[in-house]
Amino acid sequence: MWFGREHLDAGESASQAHRSWWDEHANEYLEEHGQTLGDADFIWGPEGFSEEEAHILGDLSELVDKRILEFGAGAAQCSRFLALQGCRPVASDISGAMLDAAATLNRVRGLDFPLVQADVLALPFPDASFDAAFTSFGALSFIEDLGAAFSELARVLTPGGRLAYSALHPVRWMFPDSPHLDAMTVHTSYFSREPYVERDDHGELTYVEFPHTLSEHTAALAQAGFLIEQMWEPEWPENRDVVWGGWGPERSKWLPGTLVVRSRKAA
């Protein structure tokens, strides 16, 4: 296995790598993080703040009976929370294995809402299908072209529809993937465009994440017709002892780990 920062070769499919990796590792991921995520909780990032307390999507009472798209849904924990509030979620993910886990959790909870296998770059929904769309942490780092993703989301949102997301904070890419204080030395330029890549012993692409600067986020949203309403850089809670990859109580008190954005499609 090889891993590091390098540009993809011509013809390599990041989407195929994503689908294969998450299908293979879905159960492992949920076993490791399932207790932190819950099965019907809406958590915006490793810092642990919830939609119930943060209201990133706005007043939930205004979303009752509204159609909401979750992309990069994983096991659809967030959509399950929204369904319990009376919303009409549709949970989409590139991984069939993750959606299988979502279907199992829906049966346990006695819930039934659509689970759709789809790439956010090519959503199988008509124009203006949703009143809001969101993804909770992680999905956007797997997308090379934020503009293409935001344009596709704008297509399926109604005029005035809300787009909210949390993603890896752009500063996060400058530092090693470690939660410890001794890993606070910059080892990559903030402006580096090389993705993080993993390959198997045969050189085949198995995993890839793409860094994005703050200006890339804002420019891509603007070009897709979104008006940014608010941005957050949540601090690590004082008594939270969860360790999640490079996030944890040591280093995350010093460095922002998550970027949260709320925007609205121009009417």
Residue 2 β-bridge partners? 199
Query: How far is Cα 110 from Cα 11, in angstroms, rounded to an integer?
Result: 43
Residue 100 structure tokens: 């299988």
Structure tokens at 22: 């998450």
Alpha-carbon Rg for the chain in angstroms: 18
**Which pLDDT belongs to residue 10?**
86
Residue 114's pLDDT band, with cuts at 50, 70 and 90, is very high
pLDDT above 90 for 191: yes
pLDDT at 138: 76
Q: Mean pLDDT for the chain?
A: 96
How many other CB atoms are there within 10 angstroms of residue 119's CB atom?
19
The helix (H) or strand (E) run that includes residue 147 is helix 146-156
- Angle at CA of residue 45, ends 43 and 50, nearest 5°: 30
What's the number of CA atoms in the CB half-sphere (13 Å) around residue 4?
5
Question: What percentage of residues in the chain have a pLDDT greater than 90?
Answer: 96
pLDDT for 215-258, tens place per residue?
A: 999 999 999 999 999 999 999 999 999 999 999 999 999 999 99
Q: What is the DSSP secondary-structure string of 215-265?
A: HHHHHHHHHTTEEEEEEE-PPPPTT----BTTBSTTGGGTS--EEEEEEEE
pLDDT at 19 over 80: yes
Q: What is the pTM of this model?
A: 0.96
Q: For the sheet containing 130-136, what is the strand order?
A: 115-117, 88-93, 67-70, 130-136, 157-168, 258-265, 226-232
Segment (H or E) for 173:
none
pLDDT digits (tens, 9 = 90+) for 133-172: 999 997 999 999 999 999 999 999 999 999 999 999 999 9
Q: 96, exposed or middle or buried, with CB in 10 Å at 0-12, 13-18, 19+?
A: middle
Residue 20: how many other CB atoms lie within 10 Å? 17
- Percentage above 70 pLDDT, the chain: 100
For residue range 34-93, list pLDDT tens digits in order.
889 999 999 999 999 999 999 999 998 999 999 999 999 999 999 999 999 999 999 999
At residue 267, the pLDDT reads 86
State which amino acid sits at residue 102.
A
Report phi then psi at 7, rounded to 5: -75, 150
197 strand-pairing partners: 4, 208
Q: Which residue has the higher pLDDT, 1 or 136?
A: 136
